[in-house]
Amino acid sequence: MNPCRESEYMLIEQPYLSPTKKIRTRFSVHGSRFIATLASSTTEASAREIIESVNLEFTDASHHTYAYRIGSGRTLIERICDDGEPSGTAGAPMLQVLQGKNVSDAIIIGTRYFGGTKLGIGGLTRAYRDCARLSLKDADLKKKETLDSYSLKMAYEDVGPVSRLIKSISGTITGVDYSDIVVIHIQIPARESVALLQGFESVSRGRGTAEKL
């Protein structure tokens, strides 16, 4: 049976924090040594690569547990793995810390060397929670948010009002095509998609079309 359990959630788009570089934290609890690795990961493929690299680095460890979050809102993915520890004592506590600190595009791996003394359910839960808590305490975190891309088609006379709308919702114009109409390619914070569509309908007086890419 695979000890790794998976879950995926669909939430509202929100800005979040993400680590800028890998952090390594070490501590001991009643003889057991814990090595926590916090790293940035924006895809599940990169998360698996990081997990594999830690497994190869500490091949003689008793357990390599992990939790990771990637993306936000509609695209948020969350995974946990207890790797043989009692169910719910490793991956879940680390994930809860990431959730509580609003951290995503991040993976935390809790590596344990068993020290001969059983820590019990409560002790393990606290230790793995500390893997994430202590790592985030020392981490350099930057603010990120999910972006949506659109192509906006409009008449020439609507370019000015549409450009002001894009600026008002913190959007970025990535390209403009001119022909018998104007097509403006943009990126905006995903949380502003409703404001964009409603505003574009208004300022283009219903003559423009918006296509999400």
Q: What is the dihedral of CA 34, 35, 40, 42, to 10 degrees?
A: -60
Can you give the pLDDT at residue 190? 83
Can you give the pLDDT at residue 145? 78
Can you give the pLDDT at residue 15? 84
Q: Which domains does the chain have, with CATH numbers?
A: 4-144 (3.30.230.30), 147-212 (3.30.70.240)
pTM: 0.72
pLDDT digits (tens, 9 = 90+) for 11-21: 446 789 999 99
User: Which pLDDT tens digits describe the chain residue by residue (213 residues)?
Assistant: 344 544 433 344 678 999 999 999 999 999 999 999 999 999 999 999 999 999 999 999 999 999 999 988 778 999 999 999 999 999 999 999 999 999 999 999 999 999 989 999 999 999 999 999 999 998 999 988 778 899 999 999 999 999 999 999 989 999 999 999 999 999 998 888 899 999 999 999 999 999 998
Can you give the pLDDT at residue 4? 54
Take residue 188 and report the two structure tokens written for it: 């905006």
β-pair partners for 40: 106
Can you give the pLDDT at residue 1? 37
Do 44 and 70 meet the contact criterion of CB atoms below 8 Å apart? Answer: yes
Residue 82, number of CB atoms within 10 A of its CB: 22
Q: Give whole-number Cα distances, 130 to 49, 127, 180, in Å.
A: 23, 5, 61
* Angle at alpha carbon of residue 40, lines to 36 and 45, rounded to 5°: 100
Distance from C-alpha of 20 to C-alpha of 8, rounded to nearest angstrom: 24
- What is the average pLDDT score of the chain? 91
